[in-house]
Amino acid sequence: MGIITIVALGAIAVIAAYFVMVYNNLVQLKHNVSKAWANIDVLLKQRHDELPKLVETCKQYMKFEQETLQKVMEARSRVFAARESRDVGALGPAEASLRASLGNLFAVAEAYPDLKTNQTFLQLQGRISALENAIADRREFYNESVNVNNVRIEQFPDVIVAGAFNFKPFALLEFDAAEKSDVDVKELFKS
* CATH number of the domain to which 165 belongs: 1.20.1440.20
Q: How far apart are CA 26 and CA 31, in angstroms?
A: 9
The residues near 98 (Cβ < 8 Å, ≥ 6 apart) are: 72, 75, 76, 78, 79
Domain limits at 55?
Answer: 3-188
Q: How far apart are CA 20 and CA 25, in angstroms?
A: 9
**Angle (CA) 52 79 48, round 5°:** 30
Q: How far apart are CA 8 and CA 31, in angstroms?
A: 35
- 94 class by beta-carbon count within 10 Å (0-12 exposed, 13-18 middle, 19+ buried): buried
pLDDT digits (tens, 9 = 90+) for 125-165: 888 889 989 998 999 999 999 999 999 999 998 999 999 99
- The DSSP H or E segment spanning 183 is none
- The larger pLDDT score, comparing residue 183 to residue 162, is at 162
Is residue 47 within 8 A of residue 80, CB to CB? The reply is no
Query: Which residue from 20, 9, 12 is spatially nearest to 164, judged by alpha carbons?
Result: 20
Number of domains observed in the structure of the chain: 1
* Chain centroid to CA 74: 19
- The larger pLDDT score, comparing residue 187 to residue 109, is at 109
Average pLDDT over every residue of 59-85: 84
Asked whether the predicted pLDDT for residue 55 surpasses 80, the reply is yes
Q: How far apart are CA 50 and CA 28, in angstroms?
A: 33
Q: How far apart are CA 183 and CA 181, in angstroms?
A: 6
Average pLDDT over every residue of 84-108: 87
pTM above 0.75, yes or no: no
Characterize 69-84 residue by residue with b for buried, 16 or more Cβ atoms within 10 angstroms of its Cβ, and e for exposed: bebbeebbebbbebbe
Residue 113 — very low, low, confident or very high, per pLDDT cuts 50/70/90?
Answer: confident
Q: How far apart are CA 55 and CA 64, in angstroms?
A: 13
Phi-psi group of 52: left, alpha or beta (phi > 0 → left; psi -120 to 50 → alpha; rest → beta): alpha
